[in-house]
Amino acid sequence: MRVMRYEPSDDVGRARLNTNTVARLDDVGTFTELLGVLARIRAEHRPARILCTLDDVSQCAYTSGHATEDDRLWFDDGDIDHDDPIARRRADDGRAARIAAALDDPGQQFPWQKLPGDRLGGEADVAALVEVNRNPDGFLDDVVLIQRVPVARDDLAIAGIPNGYFTSDWDVFQNHTIIRRMAAHGYRLLGIGASLLGFDRPAPPAADKAEAVVADLQHLYGAPSTESWAELAALLPQRQLLFLGYTENFPDLLG
């Protein structure tokens, strides 16, 4: 795996999302490799949060760009001197702060109980959840971008790569609700891809805690009780990571 570090003054092109992209990893093979790099970068950039891309970095960047055009998030940055790295970093920090403030606004937050449980429901979705959580390395892009997010809480790190664009996907605000709900189960947002939300926790959940997670996921996906849910409940106590699909077509990841 190759690690390319960026300074705020470095050019922002196709290799970076903006000046807050602090590293690009190439030839990434496993989450074990990725987590080691994230731990080091997280320590270097405290108190800012760190967020990375997961599956399909190009599509993730594309849909994130459009997701920020949501009327609740969009703001005219005005004229920015793109030749001034300090001005560019200030603008990128300001954009993340405004997105975080919108997500943290109680008047705009999406209630957990109103999440559309029938949007993704079905056996194929639950089977995809099981497979992604059983073999997450198989769904990790070999290119990963790591984003510094200047926010005060882990749940607001999504402001660094806001996503949820297409009509049948969960949008940025709904994804933030899911992130906050998973935080109640001890999971921290780790990354976001074109189809996946990724979380980690200090240790795998105990069996009863895993059952509580699965109960929330049954509500979230609106899928009936199946053997796959039982399989996921048995799998989670063996894993510190958790992956959820937020797009309508996320089972397509299975090919």
Q: What is the mean pLDDT, run by run of 10 residues, along the chain of 255 residues?
A: 90 83 96 96 97 96 89 70 73 91 95 76 86 97 97 97 90 96 98 97 97 94 85 97 93 86
- What is the model's pLDDT at position 210? 98
- Beta strand 143-149 with 49-53 is antiparallel
**Tokens 């300090």 identify what position?**
86
- What is the model's pLDDT at position 103? 96
- Threshold 0.85, pTM exceeds: yes
User: What's the DSSP call for residue 244?
Assistant: E
Q: How far is CA 182 from CA 40, 42, 64, 178, 243, in A?
A: 24, 20, 21, 6, 11
**Helices 85-103, 172-183: crossing angle, 10 deg rounding:** 70
User: What's the DSSP call for residue 209?
Assistant: H
Question: Cα(190)–Cα(53) distance, rounded to whole angstroms?
Answer: 9
